[in-house]
Structure 1
């Protein structure tokens, strides 16, 4: 798909910690979807043409779902898409599970959900080629962190190195936080930009992650 002719992306920054929410609009049909509910609805409502069809949740951390109930109250029929094991499925009647490598069409936009556990067990990246919404799996300049009992460094390594880094290098990354010196970047440029994306193997990745933690700024 061509982001200049098939869909548009509007970025909203705010939330708990430089969170990013995206409004994706199908140019041909006007259908709209939201990536993560990290931003208050009044920041985005003026850009909604009609009721949005769905909210795509990249993972269940509270900063990415903080305003989900607000969106549901405003749009009672909105679908909530996420990992099959997400806790959100229990409280949302319109929850739709997204299996690994499952494709789905919204408007005329062809999405694919890719399970990328590591930062959190229910992490999903949403591919809308040539774009990838990465949540907290990959940021500009680094990967997400490992924190808490439902994070796992080996899972993160496999998700990043066996899945994301094997994608075309012109894939454009749209992360869940604005932590980099640019809001978005191609995968190829991000690899050049980030030592965490250039590890030789799992052991090297673990060392690079440990070094990052020793010297990191506050962030997710």
Structure 2
């Protein structure tokens, strides 16, 4: 992976498993079991994503095995339960699908998941055609970046930019994703900025800022 910000395209799963609108209930279950996934994009017309069917949707269907709601009763049910009588992916899916583009940042995808309460997002192109899928686990991959890679990026993007004249006097150490900045700086003002910028580097778990201003004494002469 390259420097920040990382994009969905860096971490997504390409060529994901998907189903068509008319895929029967049992086929959906079989695919989920075979590929060990908990949700599948639903496609139509050249691979366009029109929805997502999840394990929760399938379990809702099973909950009505002995009492399938008729059309009138379904109107009185919450949106999720109203689909419970469905027998195909198109009837069971959540639609429209919450999607993301490959060039969206990891942070943008994480916010979309949190805001919409979903665990994965189909990745689509400008025409809405499926190009991949990104999960919560994929977004956490940025925290697997090597300490050496993080050290290099913090030095380049934070230390060298904020302290071009005194960068050689500042030490950057990263252990298990935790950044420690140590050294002397001309004034205390940039220290909080350095801490904030280091914390914004993707993959950084925490920052310990130990930058101290050089004591300035009046010239006795």
- Tell me the TM-score range normalised by the shorter chain: under 0.3
Larger radius of gyration: 2
User: TM-score of the superposition, structure 2-length normalised?
Assistant: 0.21
Q: Quick check: which one's strand share is greater?
A: 1
Q: Which TM-score applies when normalising by structure 1?
A: 0.21
